[in-house]
């Protein structure tokens, strides 16, 4: 009886692994970002935080993957540069948005980028349902929309900029789909660090290199990059791309809940509804998408 019961539990526990990996990934990302906003923003600003987070993330992944072990073809150099530049600007834009709008709202707006890429690549009538859900959700969030959410316009523009760069990052990442994920992500983050570091130095100056700031930045980089990327790779090995997309769609809600608990960022009912609509659009789009091979688009967002 005991051996039979154990055998029956094994498939169930195995099926929980990818879900727990994705949940752990989005939770770690939310914890790292909340930690950065609470601790690093007052010391070095959004620009300095971006430079340190991306810089240390790049160093961690370089040490982990050692991308110099793989040969990079000349035709891939331009793709890596474009991929890295958009990754850096995406991170910078997102952190700039967090200066004046809630974390959960910024994540929800940023999700418009991958949603647009997924939907524009299809011509099915069902996709208009996901477009409609996303538009209504964004309309409830944006200051010019039907909802009265009192969001800072500049912050919203930065979040929309992050969404645009996320879309471009996915497009350029697809061009590197033939490379090992660790290879492309480590190189991409290195380029991203070179892009954002001058912004951090220009804004924060010598404060960027104080021991206390550097120590926190290492922790933020580990929690918000190294851990999520590792957990996502565990999930991607066990899940179809569509199922992974559905699970990762919980990120705006997790971000909003963590921001409520850790940063005391309280959202209105309309904002929660908007986040729910954007999540529903993302889930629907992922659930009805055609199967394709996993790419690097999910590994460093």
**Which pLDDT score, from 0 to 100, does residue 299 have?**
42
% of residues, the chain, pLDDT over 70: 87
Residue 240 predicted with pLDDT over 50: yes
Q: What does the CA dihedral 172, 177, 180, 186 come to, rounded to 10 degrees?
A: 10
**pLDDT score recorded for residue 29:** 94
pLDDT of residue 214: 97
pLDDT tens for each residue of 137-172: 988 888 654 445 578 999 999 999 999 999 999 899
Better pLDDT: 135 or 242 = 135
Distance CA 37, CA 32 (A): 9
Mean pLDDT of the chain: 86
Listed residue (260, 231, 266) closest to 26, CA to CA = 231
Paired tokens of 218: 């290492």
Residue 68: exposure state from Cβ atoms within 10 A (0-12, 13-18, ≥19): exposed
Query: Tens digit of pLDDT for each residue in 15-45?
Result: 678 888 889 999 999 999 999 999 999 999 9
Distances (CA, A) of 185 to 107, 147, 244: 21, 38, 18
Task: Please state, as a whole number, how many other Cβ atoms lie within 10 Å of the Cβ of residue 24.
Answer: 17
Report the alpha-carbon distance of residue 87 to residue 108 in Å, rounded.
Answer: 18
Contacts of 270 (CB under 8 A, 6+ apart): 140, 147, 148, 149
**Percentage of the chain with pLDDT > 90?**
54
Report pLDDT digits (tens) over 63-104: 988 999 988 888 899 999 999 999 999 999 999 999 999 999
What pLDDT score does 286 carry?
A: 82
CA distances from 264 to 91, 225, 258, 260 (A): 23, 23, 9, 4
Tell me the mean pLDDT in the region 252-257: 94
pLDDT at 295 over 50: no
Average pLDDT over residues 246-262: 92
Q: How far apart are CA 63 and CA 80, in angstroms?
A: 18
Average pLDDT value for residue range 257-285: 92
The residue-averaged pLDDT of 230-251 equals 79
pLDDT at 8: 52
Q: Give yes or no for residue 276 having a pLDDT over 50.
A: yes
CA dihedral (90, 177, 20, 272) in degrees, to 10, reads 40
Answer yes or no: is pLDDT of 13 > 80.
no
Indicate the range of 7-16, 59-68, 107-116, 234-243 predicted with least confidence. Answer: 7-16
Task: Please tell me the predicted confidence (pLDDT) of residue 4.
Answer: 52
């Amino acid at each position: 009886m005991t051996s039979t019961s154990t055998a029956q539990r094994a498939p169930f526990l195995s099926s929980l692994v990818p879900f727990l990996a994705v949940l752990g990934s989005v939770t770690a990302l939310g914890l790292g970002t909340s930690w950065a906003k609470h601790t690093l923003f007052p010391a070095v600003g959004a620009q300095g935080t971006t430079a340190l987070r991306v810089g240390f993330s790049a160093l961690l992944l370089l040490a982990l993957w050692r991308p110099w072990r793989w040969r990079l073809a000349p035709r891939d150099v331009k793709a890596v540069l474009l991929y890295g530049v958009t990754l850096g600007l995406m991170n910078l834009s997102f952190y700039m948005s967090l200066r004046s709008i809630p974390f959960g709202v910024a994540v929800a707006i940023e999700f418009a980028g991958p949603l647009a890429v997924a939907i524009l690549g299809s011509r099915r009538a069902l996709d208009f349902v996901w477009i409609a859900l996303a538009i209504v959700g964004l309309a409830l969030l944006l200051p010019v929309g039907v909802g009265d959410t009192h969001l800072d316009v500049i912050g919203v523009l930065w979040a929309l900029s992050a969404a645009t760069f996320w879309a471009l990052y996915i497009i350029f990442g697809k061009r590197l789909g033939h490379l090992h994920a660790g290879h492309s992500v480590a190189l991409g983050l290195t380029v991203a660090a070179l892009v954002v570091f001058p912004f951090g130095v220009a804004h924060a100056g010598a404060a960027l290199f104080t021991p206390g700031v550097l120590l926190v930045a290492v922790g933020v980089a580990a929690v918000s990059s190294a851990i999520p990327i590792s957990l996502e790779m565990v999930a991607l090995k066990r899940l179809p791309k569509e199922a992974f997309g559905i699970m990762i769609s919980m990120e705006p809600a997790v971000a909003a809940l963590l921001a409520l608990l850790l940063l005391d960022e309280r959202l209105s009912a309309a904002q929660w509804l908007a986040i729910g609509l954007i999540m529903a659009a993302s889930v629907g789009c992922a659930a009805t998408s055609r199967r394709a091979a996993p790419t690097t688009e999910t590994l460093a967002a």
